[in-house]
């Protein structure tokens, strides 16, 4: 079963996935497990302090190796088999759908959350298997990145979403961005819902949604679109007849300024 053990100075932050929404329901259904381990419980002083000044000087504090390694060790012992240790770090590989799908299909991981200037490099050398980043920006701690990773993995679990189709139709799953969505009212602030969505014609709706996905991906994420095209080209069957036709239509629409019609 998917299980996350989080090494964190702020276990209370994980109420966000434990007590809310889809991840809470999935936890109640026994689809995954969460445990937090606070390095302060392994502090070597009466104050529970687990950080110290950096060697070589400079601003800020660094999380000490000892309490972090002890917390990781305790989490490993609590698990039935040895888990991968992931350090959430701005210097890691950016998180993406492929990584989320890989993790969700496995037994989870021990997630190490840094604070301050970061953690003693020797913990990374001794205990960390992988570093994962939420993006090219710096957070105050690894917790928000760990929460994002956990939430993304849990929604992939069979039975986590009420409608099984939802996760399959999300952005990135098939290499494209999701299509736009609308709900009532039919006209909002003079903006009508695209007519085809009110037609009840399932085949036309499916085709329109695919075209919107192709269009959005091409416009918003050209590098993702190029990757999707390359994957299709590498596939023995190549582009389907419908995809070829839709891409042609998009090309014509963009030349005539009729996109989105
Ligand atoms: N001095 C570090 C650096 O520039 O690489 C940043 C330290 S940051 C203030 C403190 C902690 O936040 C890090 O140890 C890491 O666990 C977490 N963190 C910050 N940005 C992150 C990101 N983009 N993705 C994942 N974790 C991040």
Confidence (pLDDT) at 259? 61
pTM: 0.95
Question: Does ligand 1 come within 6 angstroms of the Cβ of 140?
Answer: yes
Confidence (pLDDT) at 236? 86
Question: Does ligand 1 come within 6 angstroms of the Cβ of 6?
Answer: no
Q: Which atom of ligand 1 is nearest to the CA of 135?
A: 23
Ligand 1 centre from 213 Cα, in Å?
33
Q: Which residues contact 150 (CB under 8 A, 6 or more apart)?
A: 4, 17, 23, 34, 111
Q: Quick check: is 155 catalytic?
A: yes
Distance CA 124, CA 62 (A): 13
- Per-residue pLDDT of the chain (261 residues), as tens digits, is 999 999 999 999 999 999 999 999 999 999 999 999 999 999 999 999 999 999 999 999 999 999 999 999 999 999 999 999 999 999 999 999 999 999 999 999 999 999 999 999 999 999 999 999 999 999 999 999 999 999 999 999 999 998 877 888 888 989 999 999 999 999 999 999 999 999 999 999 999 999 999 999 999 999 999 999 999 999 888 999 999 999 999 999 999 877 654
Ligand 1 centre from 141 Cα, in Å?
6
Q: Which atom of ligand 1 is nearest to the CA of 118?
A: 14
Q: Quick check: is 186 catalytic?
A: no
Confidence (pLDDT) at 261? 46
Q: Which CATH architecture has domain 2-154?
A: 3-Layer(aba) Sandwich (3.40)
Confidence (pLDDT) at 202? 98
Residues 172, 155 contacting (CB under 8 angstroms): no
Distance CA 168, CA 156 (A): 9
Confidence (pLDDT) at 260? 53
Q: Whose CA is nearest to atom 27 of ligand 1?
A: 89
Listed by start position, the domains of the chain span 2-154, 169-256
Question: Does ligand 1 come within 6 angstroms of the Cβ of 39?
Answer: no
**What does CATH list as the number for 169-256?**
1.10.1270.20
């Amino acid at each position: 079963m998917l299980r996350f053990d989080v090494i964190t100075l702020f276990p209370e932050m994980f109420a966000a996935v434990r007590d809310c929404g889809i991840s809470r329901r999935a936890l109640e259904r026994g689809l995954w497990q969460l445990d937090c381990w606070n390095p302060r419980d392994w502090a070597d002083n009466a104050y529970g302090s687990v950080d110290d000044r950096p060697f070589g000087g400079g601003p800020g504090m660094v999380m000490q190796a000892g309490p972090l390694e002890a917390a990781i060790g305790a989490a490993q012992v609590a698990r039935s088999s040895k888990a991968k240790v992931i350090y959430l770090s701005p210097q890691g590989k950016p998180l993406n759908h492929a990584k989320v799908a890989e993790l969700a299909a496995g037994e989870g991981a021990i997630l190490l959350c840094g604070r301050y200037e970061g953690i003693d490099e020797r913990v990374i050398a001794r205990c960390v298997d992988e570093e994962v980043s939420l993006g090219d920006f710096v957070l105050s701690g690894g917790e928000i990145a760990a929460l994002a990773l956990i939430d993304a993995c849990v929604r992939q679990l069979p039975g986590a979403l009420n409608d099984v189709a939802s996760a399959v139709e999300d952005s990135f799953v098939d290499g494209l961005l999701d299509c736009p969505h609308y709900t009532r009212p039919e006209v909002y602030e003079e903006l009508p819902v695209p007519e085809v969505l009110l037609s009840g014609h399932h085949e036309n709706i499916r085709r329109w949604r695919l075209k919107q996905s192709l269009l959005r991906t091409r416009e918003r994420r050209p590098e993702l679109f190029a990757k999707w095209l390359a994957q299709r080209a590498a596939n023995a069957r190549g582009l389907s007849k419908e995809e070829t036709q839709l891409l042609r239509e998009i090309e014509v629409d963009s030349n005539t300024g009729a996109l989105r019609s």
